[in-house]
């Protein structure tokens, strides 16, 4: 644990001297009278893996969709490798890989054809895709099913194929919404290794997850969303210290999450009482 924290501190010192790959500058998003994201200021540096955690409806998915250009911010701007997502959409997408929580794939294409289509859309040269597509399929254990129609794929296989499609053009920034959903333990392990490898080679990763153990084990920094705001942000150690200051006994990341989002210890007793009624 001490060794891991020292490694994180060294990486954070490196991040401080790097220009951000992904920047949210005063970003807000409203749907009618509902404010989904409030005045978000966040930078993710090259080599950094940043995790967003928070309750359902807190604004995490909206944030990722704005980064991908699928939603327009009501206020503020988002920069990917220095390119404004709204004003320079095509250029910003050249540097971005995005996987939503429920990826939409073309069921009547094979896995290999889906990746060829993704490579076409991103303008990946023929020589490079001949190397990269087989390597990605092999890395995610999809080589044996690449000739099968996607409609025959399991949820986990579809998730891994969506990851391959997002990585086919080797983007500097990767945005992932609940990337481990549907993955078996082996697939989840492959994803963790891949994300850490990408960051170690200078990529920036922003992921949303409900799996606090993944956030604690993998992320350089974690941001806790609550009611559309980035209510707390820091390393896992810093957030755990916040939990201790809030009077939580164990003060792990889960306790910090509960403290920041206002969840009370008595709620579990209330739930048990309701189930017994």
Give the pLDDT of residue 56.
Answer: 87
Give the pLDDT of residue 237.
Answer: 85
State the total domains in the chain.
2
pLDDT at 275 over 70: no
- Whether residue 229 contacts residue 201, with contact meaning beta carbons closer than 8 Å, is answered with no
Q: Assess whether 112 and 81 both reside in one domain.
A: no
Q: Assess whether 151 and 194 both reside in one domain.
A: no
> Which residues, 6+ apart, have CB-to-CB distance to 147 below 8 Å?
110, 111, 112
**71 vs 191, more confident:** 71
DSSP state of 143: G
Q: Assess whether 178 and 138 both reside in one domain.
A: no
For 2, the enclosing helix (H) or strand (E) is: helix 2-15
pLDDT at 1 over 50: no
Q: Assess whether 80 and 196 both reside in one domain.
A: yes
Q: Assess whether 70 and 17 both reside in one domain.
A: yes
Number of H helices, E strands in the chain: 11, 10
The arithmetic mean of pLDDT across residues 106-114, rounded, is 97
Last residue of a domain, one of 114, 145, 170: 170
Q: Assess whether 53 and 40 both reside in one domain.
A: yes
d(C-alpha 34, C-alpha 63), whole Å? 15
Q: Assess whether 109 and 24 both reside in one domain.
A: no
Residue 246 pLDDT grade (very low, low, confident, very high; cuts 50, 70, 90): low
Mean pLDDT of the chain: 86
- Whether residue 184 contacts residue 156, with contact meaning beta carbons closer than 8 Å, is answered with yes
Q: Assess whether 262 and 129 both reside in one domain.
A: no
Find where tokens 């990767």 sit. 174
Give the pLDDT of residue 163.
Answer: 93
Give the pLDDT of residue 270.
Answer: 59
Q: Alpha carbon of 210 to those of 54, 88, 240, 260, 265: distances in Å?
A: 7, 32, 17, 15, 19
DSSP H helical segments within 86-208, as ranges? Answer: 89-93, 111-121, 126-139, 155-167, 185-200
Domain hosting 120: range is: 103-170
Give the pLDDT of residue 216.
Answer: 87
Give the pLDDT of residue 217.
Answer: 84
Last residue of a domain, one of 111, 144, 170: 170
Closest CA to 163 of 223, 225, 205, 216: 205
Q: Assess whether 202 and 250 both reside in one domain.
A: yes
For 61, the enclosing helix (H) or strand (E) is: helix 60-67
pLDDT at 144 over 50: yes
Closest CA to 62 of 173, 234, 165, 177: 177
Instruction: Bin 164: left if φ > 0, else alpha if -120 < ψ < 50, else beta.
Output: alpha
- Whether residue 3 contacts residue 54, with contact meaning beta carbons closer than 8 Å, is answered with no
pLDDT at 257 over 80: no
- Whether residue 169 contacts residue 128, with contact meaning beta carbons closer than 8 Å, is answered with no
Q: Assess whether 90 and 18 both reside in one domain.
A: yes
Q: Assess whether 194 and 262 both reside in one domain.
A: yes
Sheet with strand 96-99: strands edge to edge = 96-99, 173-177, 204-208, 49-53, 221-226, 229-234
Give the domain CATH number at 37: 3.40.50.300
pLDDT at 148 over 50: yes
Q: Tens digit of pLDDT for each residue in 11-64?
A: 544 554 457 899 999 999 999 999 999 999 999 999 999 999 988 889 999 999
Q: Is 48 helix (H, G, I), strand (E, B) or coil?
A: coil
Residue 277 pLDDT grade (very low, low, confident, very high; cuts 50, 70, 90): very low
Q: Tens digit of pLDDT for each residue in 155-177?
A: 999 999 999 999 999 999 999 99
Q: Assess whether 111 and 204 both reside in one domain.
A: no
- Whether residue 236 contacts residue 222, with contact meaning beta carbons closer than 8 Å, is answered with yes
Last residue of a domain, one of 170, 199, 229: 170
């Amino acid at each position: 644990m001490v060794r891991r924290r020292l490694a994180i501190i060294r990486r954070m010192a490196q991040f401080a001297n790097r220009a951000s790959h992904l920047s949210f500058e005063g970003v807000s998003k409203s749907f009618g009278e509902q404010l989904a994201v409030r005045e978000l200021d966040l930078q993710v540096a090259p080599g950094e893996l940043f995790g967003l955690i928070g309750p359902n409806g807190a604004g995490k998915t909206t944030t990722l969709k704005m980064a991908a250009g699928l939603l327009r911010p009501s206020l503020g701007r988002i920069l990917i490798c220095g390119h404004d997502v709204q004003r320079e959409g095509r250029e910003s997408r050249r540097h971005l890989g995005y996987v939503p929580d429920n990826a939409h794939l073309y069921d009547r294409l094979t896995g290999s054809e889906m990746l060829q289509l993704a490579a076409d859309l991103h303008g990946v040269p023929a020589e490079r895709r001949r190397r990269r597509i087989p390597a990605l399929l092999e890395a995610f254990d999809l080589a044996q099913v690449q000739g099968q129609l996607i409609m025959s794929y399991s949820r986990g296989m579809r998730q891994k194929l969506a990851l391959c499609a997002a990585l086919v053009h080797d983007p500097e920034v990767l945005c992932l919404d609940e990337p481990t959903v549907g993955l078996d333990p082996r697939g989840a392990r492959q994803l963790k290794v891949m994300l850490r490898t990408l960051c170690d080679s200078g990529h920036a990763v922003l992921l949303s997850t409900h799996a606090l153990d993944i956030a604690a084990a993998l992320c350089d920094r974690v941001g806790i969303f609550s009611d559309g705001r980035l209510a707390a942000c820091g390393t896992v150690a810093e957030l755990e210290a916040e939990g201790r200051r809030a009077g939580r006994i164990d003060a792990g990341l889960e306790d910090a999450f509960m403290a920041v989002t206002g969840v009370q210890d008595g709620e579990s007793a209330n739930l048990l009482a309701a189930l017994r009624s």
